[in-house]
Amino acid sequence: MDSVVLKGRKTGYEIYLNDAANFDEIMRELNVLLQKLQTSEAKSDNQLAFALETGNRLLTKAQVKRVRELFERFTNFKIEHIQAKVIDIATAKEAERKNNIHVEMAVIRSGQELAFDSDVLFLGNLHQGGVLRSHGSIFMLGQSSGIIEAGYPDNDEAVVVGDLSSTTQVRISDTVEIINPKNHSFDNSTVALINDLHVLDFDEVSNLATLRPKLFRKMEENQ
């Protein structure tokens, strides 16, 4: 099997690097391939973009540097991206951390802020003037008199679930609602979310399967 395979596409070329091949052999074949392409494209002034696919091989920083330095020898060639089918352990652990639901029982007092990357099940006490913030969704089973910020700063799919009747303010992504219990009826089944008009709206958690199917499936998996 060839160590390097070239395929054409509308915006340039894709180069597949055999993940089972020796890297030095890949570099030799890649160099030969680029030289041939340079000869065939000699009359063209257009810059050619290459997408490099490495399959199940994660290139090291040193290997990426060697590949980029090789392409730099050819003035009309540029690398669009280098992409693998796998991710490194640190990235995988970070993704797992963000996809899990964190259970928090803290007391957040006035002037304090507590922030998370993942979805949060809050069982503590959020005092007035305190801020509970997460990039994911927030499920309130504790007491809330402060500010709740879900989907921070730009996750429009996040929701806030729980009794918000005493909450000062709810923010999801870039939308904000000053809570007035006279305008809404809140209880433990309330869900706050950004609707199709990009307005912060309130609904029933029983409708979450329709409103946010991915989040609903995730909640079922964590039960």
Residue with tokens 């008199």: 145
Kindly state whether residues 115 and 158 are assigned to the same domain.
yes
Kindly state whether residues 99 and 194 are assigned to the same domain.
yes
pLDDT of residue 92: 54
* Domain enclosing residue 120, as ranges: 92-221
pLDDT of residue 109: 96
Q: What are phi and psi of 119, to 5 degrees?
A: -65, 150
Which residue, among 163, 162, 132, 160, has the nearest Cα to 146 in the 3D structure? 132
Alpha-carbon dihedral angle through residues 51, 53, 58, 64, given to the nearest 10 degrees: -30
Kindly state whether residues 76 and 105 are assigned to the same domain.
no
Return the CATH number at 186.
2.160.20.70
Residue ending a domain, choose from 55, 86, 117: 86
Which positions of the chain have pLDDT values less than 70? 1, 42-44, 87-99, 216, 218-223
The amino acid at residue 16 is Y
169, 192 Cβ separation under 8 angstroms: no
Kindly state whether residues 195 and 107 are assigned to the same domain.
yes
Kindly state whether residues 33 and 18 are assigned to the same domain.
yes
**Count of the separate structural domains present in the chain:** 2
pLDDT of residue 91: 58
Kindly state whether residues 8 and 22 are assigned to the same domain.
yes
Q: Whole-model pTM?
A: 0.57
pLDDT of residue 213: 84
Per residue in 95-151, pLDDT tens? 555 567 888 999 999 999 999 988 999 999 999 999 999 999 999 988 999 999 999
